[in-house]
């Protein structure tokens, strides 16, 4: 079993503080809409309430930014705030990884994702052994989704890399040193 953990200080700022700030925005927006407080104009308060509510939901309910990723011999688990979403490998029908900013941040959808579970942002740059986690995610996606465009591109690049290693130098290549 391997546990990958988000650095606590970064998690506190990036996830918890952001979630709490959005919770305060929800309260301020709701009070402004009801006319109890005159902090925001009602149309802006509605927009702020929608956006902030979505962030609060993702942070505290859907656990879209997990603190822990646990991989064992038969499952993967995402968790934070005492809640764990466990997916047995045998039950995973789709697994999609979208890289954002190289391998520093990835968006993972398990079995299509949903409102309560299956959608996760992983800050691999700030997780213990983040590069290893990123590579595991990529490899697992390749195994689960072998016919995806990404998998086909990976196979093509692997074939090209093997082909390049065994290729003879091109005699017409002017860049070749003599």
109-163 per-position pLDDT tens digit: 999 999 999 999 999 999 999 999 999 999 999 999 888 777 778 777 777 766 6
Mean pLDDT calculated for residue range 46-68: 96
pLDDT band for position 172 (50/70/90)? very low
Angle at 117 between CA 122 and CA 120, to 5 degrees: 10
Q: Residues for the chain: how many in total?
A: 178
SS (H, E, C) 32-94: HHHCCCCCCCHHHHHHHHHHHHHHHHHHHHCCCCCCEEEECCCEEEEEECCEEEEEEHHHCCC
Closest CA to 67 of 108, 18, 128: 128
Q: In which residue are the tokens 């997990």 written?
A: 66
Mean pLDDT calculated for residue range 91-111: 91
Six-digit token string for 157 = 């690049």
Q: What's the confidence (pLDDT) of residue 59?
A: 95
SS3 content of the chain, % helix, strand, coil (to 5): 50, 20, 30
pLDDT band for position 54 (50/70/90)? very high
Q: What is the mean pLDDT of the chain?
A: 88
pLDDT band for position 11 (50/70/90)? very high
Dist. CA 95–CA 35, nearest whole Å:
45
Burial 130-152 (b: 16+ CB within 10 A, else e): beebbebbeebbbebbeeeeeee
For the chain, what percent of residues have pLDDT higher than 70? Answer: 89
């Amino acid at each position: 079993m391997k546990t990958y953990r988000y650095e606590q200080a970064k998690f506190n700022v990036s996830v918890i503080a952001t979630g709490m700030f959005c919770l305060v925005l929800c309260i301020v927006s709701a009070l402004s809409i009801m006319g109890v407080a005159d902090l925001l104009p009602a149309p802006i308060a509605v927009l702020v309430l929608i956006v902030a509510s979505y962030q609060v939901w993702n942070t505290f309910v859907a656990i879209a930014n997990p603190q822990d990723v646990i991989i064992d011999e038969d499952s993967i688990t995402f968790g934070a705030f005492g809640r764990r979403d466990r997916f047995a490998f045998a039950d995973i029908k789709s697994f999609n990884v979208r890289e954002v900013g190289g391998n520093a941040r990835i968006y993972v959808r398990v079995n299509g994702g949903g409102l309560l579970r299956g959608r996760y942002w992983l800050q691999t740059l700030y997780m213990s052994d983040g590069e290893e986690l990123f590579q595991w995610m990529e490899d697992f996606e390749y195994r689960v989704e072998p016919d995806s465009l990404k998998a086909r591109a990976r196979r093509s690049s692997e074939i090209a890399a093997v082909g390049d290693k065994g290729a003879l130098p091109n005699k017409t290549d002017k860049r070749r040193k003599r």
